[in-house]
Amino acid sequence: MSEKVDLSPIRMRSLFLGGPELWLSFLDSLGGVYQKRLLKLTKTLSPFYPQVMQVVKEQIMRALTTKPSSLDQFKSKLQNLSYAEILKIRQSERMNQEDFQSRPILELKEKIQPEILELIKQQRLNRLVEGTCFRKLNSRRRQDKFWYCRLSPNHKVLHYGDLEESPQGEVPHDSLQDKLPVADIKAVVTGKDCPHMKEKGALKQNKEVLELAFSILFDSNGQLNFIAPDKHEYCVWTDGLNALLGKDMMSELTRNDLDTLLSMEIKLRLLDLENIQIPDAPPPIPKEPSNYDFVYDCN
């Protein structure tokens, strides 16, 4: 295991405040784990005590890393960490750490990363084309008004306009009164750098509003101020706007998506097909069904 377990008195105080009796109960639990694991492993490994001790040690250490607050929680963690579960954890860690850090894998990551980033970029732009309903702060700082913004299908114009209430579904371009050419956008700023967050008293708002704020700055000192409905929409829009300006997508959502998609793509490309026989001919076409009652007649 790469992670070290902190067994300092401060960490373990809540587990051993019961005195010697609790210590004895704790040691008895460890002895039970060793005996149980020994009986299971000796059936297949013969009496190889070092292997048994290694498994038991890993089981105990992994249970302790969860920092159980009571002896019952510690016993429960031990029961959940069976030998099969330990093997799964080891295999997962080898895949995520050792194999994925080798030079060929790193070179493969570097090769396919631009493809994944382009895929993420297209997803962000597609979401901007669908559009989002944003909250609008009035002079009294009450979030009781809405406005909608969406990107044109050709990615050249932002359409936006006020709404009386939150819409159900997408809002058509024709119903949005104002337009902003993407070519006129000078910069995208976030958080405290937003003009509507610099106004008098605005910085006294709660932290959540500040983290969801971003603004588009365009020609003639113009600005388009946003407050995203949630963190996900905030990341989608800031990523999409940066992509439109030819800048990197730096949000946490992009990093998570990149890591997930890279891992999935690499695992797919590294599938072991040595013991799988690939047929030379396609499978035979099945016989026609006795009736076609399941077919929908469009006429």
- DSSP run (H or E) holding 135: strand 132-136
Listed residue (218, 215, 210) closest to 141, CA to CA: 210
Radius of gyration of the chain from its Cα atoms, rounded to whole angstroms:
29
Listed residue (156, 116, 149) closest to 260, CA to CA: 116
| pTM for the whole structure | 0.58
- Output the CA–CA distances (angstroms, integers) from residue 236 to 18, 124, 188, 223, 240, in the order listed: 52, 6, 13, 19, 6
Q: What is the pLDDT of residues 239-296, one digit of tens each?
A: 999 999 999 999 999 999 999 999 888 877 777 644 555 566 777 888 888 887 776 6
Residue 100, token pair as written in the block:
């994925």
d(CA 149, CA 287) in angstroms, rounded, equals 53
Q: What is the pLDDT of residues 238-252, one digit of tens each?
A: 999 999 999 999 999
